[in-house]
Amino acid sequence: MMNCPQFLDALSDLLDEELDPAAAATLRQHAANCAACGAVLASSRQMLAWMGDSQNFALPPTASVRLRELLEQQLGSPGSRSKPGRLGWAWLWLRPRWAAALVLIVLVAGLARWRAGATSVSGWLIDQGCAVTYHAHPGDHPVTCLRHCAAKGVALGLLDAQGRFRRFDARGEQSARAVIAATNRSDDMWVTIKARSASHGVLDVEQIALTTPPGIQ
């Protein structure tokens, strides 16, 4: 007998028609007998239909014209410019192993500079792989960052309404979330993480998680 949490766990697969017929029938049966799950299923279907409707979030015709004009201006008229494709940094992004090797080199170099006191806290955090870890192991990155930082005498946290530094506990993300919930003054779920160390004081930490892989800039 299916219950509501089980139904919700499989809801996306049902909406995407990625279930085998027997499993889908079981879910539909539950939705038919459970008013709440039936309403969630119907409204989710409605929502996805609106999302998939190309009239919503449509590119304005004027924007399309501006794009064409910009491209013609930048690329030139047909046949008037050299062929595309200049080797840039994109090869790193498209070659994860090479990118990983570069990160290792940067990490070693970053640590050396950190020991010499010549780099910023934010640069050191990025060198530590916090940003790259986000892509490789999304669940790990805050903890990994916090532990790296704690081992190096750097505290992560944010400023409360009085401007006091409130550090995250190095044990994990939940404690960080508690601090964020208690002190968040932003209006849109974004928070500015700060780092504090004895040698650097309190500094901004840039791009801890929402980051661009090495590559196209």
Partner 1 sequence: MAESAAVVDDDQELLQRVRAGEREAFYTLVSRYERPLYRSALAITRNPTDAEDVVQETFLRAYEHLAQFRGEAKFQTWLTQIALNTARMKLRKNHGALWESLDQPRATEEGVLPRDVREWRENPEQQLGREEIEALLHQALKGLPAGYREVLALRDLQLLSTQETAEILGLSVANVKTRLLRARLQLRERLAAHLGR
Of 1, 17, 22, 85, the one binding partner 1 by CB under 8 A:
85
Check residue 151 for interaction with partner 1 (CB under 8 A): no
Q: Minimum CB separation from partner 1 for residue 188, in Å? A: 8
Q: Minimum CB separation from partner 1 for residue 106, in Å? A: 18
Q: Is 43 helix (H, G, I), strand (E, B) or coil?
A: helix
Check residue 117 for interaction with partner 1 (CB under 8 A): no
Of 55, 97, 117, 118, the one binding partner 1 by CB under 8 A:
55
Number of residues that bind partner 1 (CB under 8 A): 85
Taking the C-alpha atoms of residue 214 and residue 191, their distance in angstroms, rounded to an integer, is 24
Check residue 71 for interaction with partner 1 (CB under 8 A): yes
Quickly list DSSP for 5-38: HHHHHTHHHHHTT-S-HHHHHHHHHHHHH-HHHH
Which CB sits closer to partner 1, 155 or 205?
205
The piece of 87-95, 100-108, 112-120, 159-167 that touches partner 1 (CB under 8 A) is: 87-95
- Is the Cα dihedral 150, 152, 158, 164 positive or negative? positive
Quickly list DSSP for 135-178: HH-TTTHHHHHHHHHHHTTEEEEEE-TTS-EEEPPTT-HHHHHH
Check residue 108 for interaction with partner 1 (CB under 8 A): no
Check residue 11 for interaction with partner 1 (CB under 8 A): yes
Of 19, 28, 93, 183, the one binding partner 1 by CB under 8 A:
93
Neighbours of 25 (CB within 10 A): 11
The piece of 21-29, 109-117, 147-155, 170-178 that touches partner 1 (CB under 8 A) is: 170-178
Taking the C-alpha atoms of residue 37 and residue 146, their distance in angstroms, rounded to an integer, is 40
List, in sequence order, every residue forming a beta bridge with 195; answer none if it has no partner. 156, 203
Q: Which residue in the block uniquely carries the two structure tokens 């409130």?
A: 166
Check residue 52 for interaction with partner 1 (CB under 8 A): yes
43, HSE (Cβ side, Cα atoms, 13 Å):
6
Of 25, 29, 33, 63, the one binding partner 1 by CB under 8 A:
63
Check residue 169 for interaction with partner 1 (CB under 8 A): no
